[in-house]
Structure 1
């Protein structure tokens, strides 16, 4: 269920599925890296989906789960605490850039 406030502040469709400030911060960070971000929802049908399960950018998969951010590229994986998105966003940004190389 989308609130009126979320609907008014959303700039793009994926933002309607984001439930926390961390998710919105993360989405905007990814948009700085690429305009070709795909995402996996928790349901195949858009009107039944309630959350984003994973973000995909090039050959990187990023999941937000259990208060952690898991960045995966092939057989490499990096796990960061979700709190880092708000406390140290530049560090998270740099980690994603490192995984893109």
Structure 2
């Protein structure tokens, strides 16, 4: 994986180096507001080959980005929310409330 000097300077944690899009970084920072126990799944188990984040997991909630459909999926054990990437960009607080709502149900 290659990264730019700017990307390296902007990143505060190792997982951020694998986040290429603004949406990925927005979701990461949103999740970090809620917990420091976030797991991520990269597109390769080898760090040198990995180029992007496939999914995030916090507690029992799975978050996936589908760039082709321009959607974000918030998947809980008994509920699923689908939000457009446009909504994430324009109104991240809405997505944050949806996420917190799912996390509250999972506790």
| TM-score w.r.t. length of structure 1 | 0.94
* 1:82-93 correspondence to structure 2 within 5 Å: 82-93=85-96
CA RMSD of aligned residues (A): 1.0
* 1:25-64 correspondence to structure 2 within 5 Å: 25-64=26-65
Instruction: Flag as ranges the 4+ runs of structure 1 deviating above 4 A.
Output: none
SS in 2 for 1:64: strand
The superposition leaves residues 54-91 of structure 1 with CA deviations (integer Å, 9 ceiling, x where unpaired) of: 00000000001122110101142111001122210110
Count of aligned positions:
101
Structure-1 separation of matches of 2:77 and 2:40: 17
Unmatched tracts of structure 2, length 5 or more = none
Structure-1 separation of matches of 2:98 and 2:65: 15
| TM-score w.r.t. length of structure 2 | 0.89
Unmatched tracts of structure 1, length 5 or more = none
Q: Which moved more, 1:6-15 or 1:67-76?
A: 67-76
